[in-house]
Amino acid sequence: MDVEMNTEIIRININSINNCKEETDKLKHAAEVIKKGGLVAFPTETVYGLGANALDAGAVKKIFEAKGRPSDNPLIVHIADISSLGKLIAEMPGFAHKLIDEFWPGPLTLIFKKSGIIPYEITAGLDTVAIRMPAHPVALALIKEAEVPIAAPSANSSGKPSPTLAEHVIEDLMGKIDMIIDGGATNVGVESTVLDITSNPPIILRPGGITFEQLREVLGNVELDPSLKINDKLQANQTQDKSKKIIPRSPGMKYRHYSPKASLIIVEGDTSQVIKHINEMANDYRSKSIKVGILATDQTKSYYTDAKDVVVISMGDRNHPDTIASSLFNCFREFDHMNVQVILAEAIDKTGIGLAVMNRMNKAAGYNIIKV
């Protein structure tokens, strides 16, 4: 898509969405764009999505072009009520009912066997389809008004951090899509959990807003996709030594995702050791005139020296990983705005939503992890 198009930006006040004609009219206008096969970015409770009519293969193709997304990466279909689920899927596994009752609307994407009306453009040729019902008034109202399911990946350029503010979408997709609905900051901040319920027990393919612990409580038995565990260990070992002294070159694109422009290095271990190591590394980079960003937490921020060419940002409260989830991607983009070249990030515990936070951080770092 070389020719820039006119991207309309509309602001919606989510508090008056159901009782104010002006806001309803804006949504109707956005829904018209979807119905005509256009692309509309909209807020969900996790991150902003880039929506198109899921039943229109031509519209879906435009999503891949606008994002520069590889065509072998399938999209999530968003629905606003349970009655629209049946015609999209071929089979309803027993535990789906429990999961839907408990977690929809919300940040849980379920993988089903697809029905015939789902175009293969959405599923990247697979016979399964990812479906979720978002818990955001704008997303739900848009889907209802459009009267079609909406296919939507995160509304970032492929490879960049997912957008948690309309400004992030503007940064990445202005001139490439028809419309951006600005509904303010998203809440959860990392994407939905992707759960494959075509196998028994179900398998978490991507950790996200609904935690492993929450799923285990409802299902009894749930597994983590082996790639989520193996990659951590393997890549950590491989990068341990060389990353101490040199700026890592951008690792295999296959692994790097959700990434800021700066190289990201994660330091993991006992907190006092982590602080010590990050301070040493920061000094080393400064002496080489390399601008450093330190991604700290509320508890540790004051232990780093905020100096010329060292930018310290807290991603949130270690004891409340949800605060970290909601700010992580914005922190990455903040460092980019300040032209930081290397980001040194503290790891956090992988419990609760911390598992999703560390998954995104590891991918953004290309698994460049230092254990101290």
Pairing of strands 108-113, 128-132: antiparallel
The single residue listed with the structure tokens 């393997």 is: 234
Alpha-carbon gap, residue 224 to 240, rounded angstroms: 25
192 lines the binding site for ligand TXA (CB under 6 A): yes
Among 44, 154, 192, 211, binds Mg ion (CB under 5 A): 154
Phi-psi region of 184 (alpha: psi -120 to 50; beta: other; left: phi over 0): left
Helix, strand, or coil (residue 248):
coil
Which span sits near ligand TXA by CB under 6 A: 122-130, 226-234, 245-253, 258-266?
122-130
Alpha-carbon gap, residue 145 to 92, rounded angstroms: 26
47 lines the binding site for ligand TXA (CB under 6 A): yes
Tell which residue, 248, 258, 279, has the closest CA to residue 369. Answer: 248
Which span sits near ligand TXA by CB under 6 A: 86-94, 126-134, 230-238, 278-286?
126-134
Which span sits near Mg ion by CB under 5 A: 88-96, 113-121, 149-157, 270-278?
149-157
The nearest distance, CB 206 to ligand TXA, in angstroms, is: 5
133 lines the binding site for ligand TXA (CB under 6 A): no
Alpha-carbon gap, residue 135 to 153, rounded angstroms: 16
Binding-site string for ligand TXA from residue 197 to residue 226, where x marks contact by CB under 6 A and - marks none: --------xx--------------------
161 lines the binding site for ligand TXA (CB under 6 A): no
Straight-line distance from the first to the last Cα atom of the chain, in angstroms, rounded to the nearest whole number:
46
323 lines the binding site for Mg ion (CB under 5 A): no
Question: Using an 8 Å Cβ cutoff, are 315 and 177 in contact?
Answer: no
- Dihedral of CA atoms 151, 332, 252, 363 in degrees, nearest 10, equals -70
123 lines the binding site for ligand TXA (CB under 6 A): yes
The nearest distance, CB 18 to ligand TXA, in angstroms, is: 21
Question: Using an 8 Å Cβ cutoff, are 123 and 98 in contact?
Answer: no
Among 10, 39, 46, 366, binds ligand TXA (CB under 6 A): 46
Among 31, 85, 129, 313, binds ligand TXA (CB under 6 A): 129
Which span sits near ligand TXA by CB under 6 A: 29-37, 127-135, 318-326, 352-360?
127-135
The nearest distance, CB 228 to ligand TXA, in angstroms, is: 12
List, in sequence order, every beta strand (DSSP E) within 183-249: 193-196, 203-206, 223-224
Contact residues toward Mg ion (CB under 5 A) are: 154
Q: Which residues in this chain contact ligand TXA in the complex, by CB under 6 A?
A: 44, 46-47, 49, 73-76, 107, 109, 111, 123, 126, 128-130, 134, 152-154, 191-192, 194, 205-206
